[in-house]
Amino acid sequence: MKSKQIDWSRTDALIFDMDGTLWDAVDTYARIWNEVFARAGREVHVTRETLIGNIGKPIPRIMENLFPDITPDEAARFSAELAQEEPALLSRYGGTPYPGVVEGLERLSHKYKLFLVSNCDSHTLPVFMACIGITPYITEGLAFGNTHKPKGDNMLLLKEKYGLQQPLYMGDIDADGQETHRVGLPFVYARYGFGQADDYELAFDSFTDFTEFFLNCK
């Protein structure tokens, strides 16, 4: 665990990334993308391997990376189909929360305000929370699909709305850390997730370790 000189006892809110931090639903996303593309009239084969390096990016950017030849009309049609079909499909297929996440969030919610900030569509966070049973513990979830703003800006929106003094953001990729530091907040690296990060204030090998650390800060 790496720590810079921060008084963690002053932390009053925990803001979490979703994919790679709280659960793994990459196989489900690949299945959904393949199904929705087929319904939009294009046969593709999205795999876990091709998708996982793009997790955490806005949907338009993922499409550009995976399908550089896609036309604007086709991208718009796919996005509309995805917005319509994904909630039901994600609810049906689900994902796997990392060990300790559900019980950890329940325990942490007694001492901290908990939030989600993700680059997903607006419908995804409510479905995710319902899927793993954490809706009662989360004060608010804010997605790229809600604001069309980057993660750092959404963190600041929550900070201002709720009058937070020292929130932190927990994510699993370098871009998460860059966005967090861009807006002057501490970044906690979920080392067990999908990606790599080199600049962080704290890092944990499990969500259980994260939970115990911050429960012991209060």
Rounded Cα–Cα distance for residues 2 and 25 (Å): 28
pLDDT band at 14 (very low <50, low <70, confident <90, very high): very high
Task: Provide, rounded to the nearest whole percent, the portion of the chain with pLDDT above 70.
Answer: 98
pLDDT band at 4 (very low <50, low <70, confident <90, very high): low
Torsion of CA 32, 97, 156, 110, to 10 degrees: 150
Q: What is the pLDDT of residues 111-161, one digit of tens each?
A: 999 999 999 888 899 999 999 999 999 999 999 989 999 999 999 999 999
Does the pLDDT value for residue 2 go beyond 70?
A: no
| Spatial CA neighbour of 176 closest among 196, 158, 192 | 196
Rounded Cα–Cα distance for residues 120 and 142 (Å): 9
User: Between 73 and 188, where is the model more confident?
Assistant: 188
Please give the mean pLDDT across all residues of the chain: 92
Q: Round the CA-based radius of gyration of the chain to a whole number and report it.
A: 17
pTM, two decimals, is: 0.90
pLDDT of residue 83: 81
Q: What is the pLDDT of residues 21-38, one digit of tens each?
A: 999 999 999 999 898 888
Does the pLDDT value for residue 42 go beyond 80?
A: no
pLDDT band at 1 (very low <50, low <70, confident <90, very high): very low
User: CB count, 10 Å around CB of 6?
Assistant: 13
Chain mean position to CA 18: 3
Rounded Cα–Cα distance for residues 93 and 87 (Å): 10
